[in-house]
Amino acid sequence: MIKFTERISPFLWSAILCLYFSTLPDLVVGQQFNFHNYSISDGLAQSQVYSILKDSRGYLWLGTNGGGLSRFDGLGFYNYSRKDGLSGSYVFALQEDKDGNLWIGTDKGICVYDGVKFKTYALDSLERQVIIALTIDQKGKIWLGTAAGLYLFDGKYFTNQNALLPKNIPNLRINCLFPDKKDNLWIGLDNQIICLGEETTSWGYQNGFTGGKVYAISQDHHENLWLATSRGAFVFDGKTFSRLNTGNGLKSNFVQSLFIDRDHKTWLAYQDKGLSVFNPVDSSLTHLSEQEGLCKNDIRCITQDQWGNIWLGSSGGGISKYSGQQFEHFDRNNSLLANRVYALLQDTSENLWVSASNRGFSVLTDSGVVHHGANTDFIDIPVKAMLLDSNGGAWIGTEGKGLVYKDNLSFIFFTESLGLAGNWVKDIIRDPSGNLWVGTNDGISKANVTRDSLGLSIDFKNFDAKVGLPRPYTNDLHADKLGRIWAALRFGGLACIEQDSIKFILDRSNVLFTESIRSLAEDSSGYLWMGTADAGVGRLSLYSDSLDISFLPLDKLYSENIYSLVIDDEQRLWAGSQQGVDCIRFTEDRNLLEVKHYGRAEGFSGIENCTNAVLKDHQGNLWFGTMNGLTKYNAQYTNKDTIPPFLRFTNVALEYTPLRETKFAQIMDNWGRVKGALFLPWNINDITFEFQGTDLSAPQAIQYRWKLEGLDEAWSPFSENNTVRYANLAPGQYSFLVKSLNSNEIESSEPISFPFTIQAPFWQKKWFPWAIAGLLILLLGAIVKKRFNQLKRKSYQKEQQLSMEKKMLELEQKALQLQMNPHFIFNTLNSIQALIGQKDPKQARYYLSKFSRLMRKVLENSRSELIPLADEMKSLDDYLSLEQFGKDQAFTYEITANPGIATEDVFIPPLMIQPFVENAIVHGLAPSGKNGRIAILFEQNQDQLLCTVTDNGIGRAAASKQKSQRESHHKSMGLEVTAERLYLLNKNIQDGFIIEDIINQDGSPGGTKVLIKLKI
């Protein structure tokens, strides 16, 4: 048997419950509760919500009956279906595990959602088993309840645990599961409950439990178990079951869900009667249904979020959010004659007087509502002002019927015909001296009231256009501590009446921004606050030496169109407008501190306020007359929005690409939590942060501020913007921080952060300057070495050039020496001498002239590096002519150049061709013994000059047999010198000269051809 701590005897507990439930009447009669309903039109997947869960991130998860799963963040719904991986469309159970994953029990099995994807688990072989119940105990074990019994998750699979249950259970269908504070697992079945602990214990008809189907189990702060069953609600203290049903206060015996909130109140949900709330503090029971604003009377599931809001899932009506009774609303559906509330009054008996539309007025008492209109003792007419009289009566200001006095017996009318300034009365006040003042559409009346045996009489003194009030339409009146009367004029600004005369008028012509003033209210600091039609809220220092007037910034107010003003007990100013009411708080010196707006979303259901229909009652509560009914602000209400929004990153984009689509996706988990620092290359420096706060109390009021450490010096101002982009970030370490602020200006204690580093490019890294320095040193060394090598090479080249020039000079000298062949000179001179001996001086002079010219040319050309081809050809002609002259054996010759060669413009080294010609004569023609022939041809091939020397001598083979040492030495030396000169001059030309044998057709030698190549 499980042991429970016994807080109270079973008999006494049952007696107290029965006493209170049977004797206490409903506490709420005729008021509208602060429910905010959501359904399909708001984005909910389906209107039948059968399971509900608030998770650790502030989200609300809703399992629907056929529409899948919905997630709600306070602003909108995000829906999941089987297309997204959900195992089934009918979601009956929801739980969150320690890792933040969502477990979902559906009509087609169990699945888990990790923030990105769904994974479905099989139950034995029944993959499509319907999951009815789901819970996670204190040890993290996941239990399932199905029509086939109990299942437990072992980390990989769900296995059947029916062996843990008592034997002989007629029906294994498990309706609910609940782990208590001692980690016992309670199981609700049909007509039976089971507790799995150190021992297994069950209760049914045989041992005191008379309930039917058990739909829900919970535990209160006294460790008593509460059971929702088909036969009422049961409270089990460990020994005795106490039953709650229609006989002792419940609206229905069919209790299908229950929930115990943080204030220890128990919420009991019915199938068709709404719900009841049991408060253990005073044992009161409050019934809520569609009449009080509940979305539907068939409530299936209940939870409470982190901010204290109660969420109710219904069958067919979506969900309801109950935020407590900060505001209570009354309209024609529950107590008023009509919705438009024009005037309010509280009498000495705490009764509330309410003027509604054109139906007169009503008095709300503890015993009921008393209406005063045409059907009773009054008339159907709008009442715009009411004031309690010191004699127990009341003054009533009407639209068109003047001023009315009500006593216990009758109504007395005072109209324009009796001296009243106008019949459309807008306000009634009493000054410190007890005088009555009436503001009308035609001016202001001071009423001197007298009572005698004949009845009530009034002497009116009027302030209108005749006495200095040019535009007398009066919206509101206020009497200050000095007895001065301040009048808010519809078109004329602010008027001050002192000692029965108009002292001054403030309007656009002097100090006011506007001339249309509707409302007046004085605070404890001596400021007169003015509500205007087009300039918001202004204030006037009543008791200073000068008129100190200022206006609140319009951007701080929800509207500039103010209909009513009232000061509460905390000296806060409430300004009613067409869009709700602003609560304005001030510092100690009455400077603006903050403005909090209340509209429909915040529970102010009336929305549009009526002119000056506002009241602070004796308990400090505020009542606002609106176009849609009467709204009460409970001064004792404790605002639950004291928790800052749950803040998370919804997306981080790199260069506009979501982080989860990049290689850095592992930095964030599936729920937007940052797991580590991000390291980015230098060229990914555009990053966008998207973040969102969740506050289910006032989601539309969340504001954010951020700071990028490493760039921003200060936090940004708070704003509604939740996307921030940074572009072209320099390399460095950063941390993006975000904080959130709720509607009560509760700020996140710690920001969420996203640390990241943009790595510097290699040229900005610390090692890079050293590398550059080293590279420069190496480069400088290479340059120095290269220059040294260049100088060395240049020096070598210069040495080679000098050596070559020296060698060329030596070769040229040798060539010159070889050019002066002694035999040639001797033979030529002998031949000339013979001509002289033969008495032929003319012929002798001719050859002597040729000889001298040849010698002169040889000497001149030896001094030049290059000579024109024409000069070389002329020298060759002179040489061959003299050779013909001096030889006994005749030969012919020809020297030609291709027509394309400009012989005067082509330059060649001197003394290059002659050795080959001489060799042809000496070794080719001379030994042949026949008439010889020498042909010299000059051709040009691009940048080369080709010279061909052809003879018809004996050929190289026969010439090699010549034994003359002198001749062979001369020939050998001449060709060697010429070949060496050609090599030095034509380094880029392969084979400076080529010697070929000419073979006749019969195979006999036909001469020799020499090809000489010169670069030009």
State residue 40's pLDDT score. Answer: 97
State residue 865's pLDDT score. Answer: 79
Least reliable range by pLDDT among 186-200, 390-404, 551-565, 913-927: 913-927
Q: Is the pLDDT of residue 611 over 70?
A: yes
Least reliable range by pLDDT among 25-34, 542-551, 1005-1014: 25-34
* Residue range 638-670, pLDDT digits in tens: 666 678 999 999 999 999 999 999 999 999 998
Least reliable range by pLDDT among 418-422, 769-773, 972-976: 972-976
Q: Is the pLDDT of residue 837 over 80?
A: no
d(CA 485, CA 493): 14
CATH of the domain at 831: 3.30.565.10
State residue 915's pLDDT score. Answer: 86
State residue 5's pLDDT score. Answer: 33
CA dihedral sign of residues 65, 68, 73, 76: negative
State residue 822's pLDDT score. Answer: 63
Domain's final residue, options 302, 325, 348? 325
Decide: 704 and 717 in contact? Cβ < 8 Å.
Answer: no
Q: Tokens 């069958």, residue?
A: 315
Please give the sequence-ordered ranges of beta strands (E in DSSP) within 380-442, or none if there are none. Answer: 383-388, 394-398, 403-406, 411-414, 425-430, 436-440
d(CA 991, CA 838): 49
Decide: 678 and 754 in contact? Cβ < 8 Å.
Answer: yes
336 is a domain residue? no
Regarding whether 817 and 945 lie in a shared domain, the answer is yes
975 is a domain residue? yes
Please give the sequence-ordered ranges of beta strands (E in DSSP) within 289-442, or none if there are none. Answer: 299-304, 310-314, 319-322, 327-330, 341-346, 352-356, 361-365, 368-372, 383-388, 394-398, 403-406, 411-414, 425-430, 436-440
Decide: 227 and 217 in contact? Cβ < 8 Å.
Answer: yes
Least reliable range by pLDDT among 35-49, 430-444, 613-627, 837-851: 837-851
Confidence category of residue 32, pLDDT binned at 50, 70, 90: low
Q: Tokens 């993959």, residue?
A: 127
578 is a domain residue? no
891 is a domain residue? yes
Q: Is the pLDDT of residue 443 over 50?
A: yes
State residue 641's pLDDT score. Answer: 64
Regarding whether 870 and 736 lie in a shared domain, the answer is no
Confidence category of residue 823, pLDDT binned at 50, 70, 90: low
Regarding whether 709 and 820 lie in a shared domain, the answer is no
Q: What is the mean pLDDT of residues 193-203?
A: 93
Nearest to 599 by CA among 621, 634, 575: 575
Q: Is the pLDDT of residue 839 over 70?
A: no
State residue 743's pLDDT score. Answer: 84
401 is a domain residue? no
Q: In what order do the strands lie in the sheet with 657-658?
A: 657-658, 646-654, 687-694, 723-726
Q: What is the dihedral of CA 794, 796, 798, 800, to 10 degrees?
A: -140
Q: From residue 578, how far is each of 343, 607, 625, 701 by CA, in Å?
A: 17, 7, 12, 19
Q: Is the pLDDT of residue 41 over 80?
A: yes
DSSP string for 922-987: IIIIGGG-S-EEEEEEEEEETTEEEEEEEE-SSHHHHHTT---HHHHHHHHHHHHHHHHHHHHH-T
Number of domains comprising the chain? 3
Which residues span the domain enclosing 224?
A: 16-45+219-325
Regarding whether 890 and 998 lie in a shared domain, the answer is yes
Q: Is 809 helix (H, G, I), strand (E, B) or coil?
A: helix
Least reliable range by pLDDT among 421-425, 468-472, 505-509, 820-824: 820-824
Regarding whether 826 and 726 lie in a shared domain, the answer is no
DSSP string for 142-178: EEEEETTEEEEE-SS-EEE-GGGSPTT-S-----EEE
State residue 18's pLDDT score. Answer: 44
Regarding whether 814 and 749 lie in a shared domain, the answer is no
State residue 808's pLDDT score. Answer: 55
Q: From residue 39, how far is each of 45, 317, 351, 450 by CA, in Å?
A: 8, 6, 38, 61
Q: Tokens 């090809």, residue?
A: 1011
Q: Tokens 């049909």, residue?
A: 190
Least reliable range by pLDDT among 222-236, 640-654, 793-807: 793-807
CATH of the domain at 283: 2.130.10.10
Least reliable range by pLDDT among 56-65, 298-307, 800-809: 800-809
Least reliable range by pLDDT among 242-246, 686-690, 875-879: 875-879
CATH of the domain at 754: 2.60.40.10
Regarding whether 811 and 751 lie in a shared domain, the answer is no
State residue 455's pLDDT score. Answer: 80
55 is a domain residue? no
Confidence category of residue 334, pLDDT binned at 50, 70, 90: confident
> Which tokens hold the place of 205?
């008809």
Regarding whether 880 and 825 lie in a shared domain, the answer is yes
Please report which residue ranges of 302-360 form alpha helices under DSSP H: none
State residue 125's pLDDT score. Answer: 57
Task: Name the DSSP class of 920.
Answer: I
258 is a domain residue? yes
State residue 208's pLDDT score. Answer: 85
The overall average pLDDT reported for the chain is 88
652 is a domain residue? yes
- Percentage of the chain exceeding pLDDT 70: 91
Regarding whether 816 and 690 lie in a shared domain, the answer is no
> Which tokens hold the place of 471?
């535009």
Regarding whether 953 and 815 lie in a shared domain, the answer is yes
State residue 293's pLDDT score. Answer: 87
Confidence category of residue 787, pLDDT binned at 50, 70, 90: confident
> Which tokens hold the place of 581?
């009411």
d(CA 721, CA 206): 63
State residue 818's pLDDT score. Answer: 47
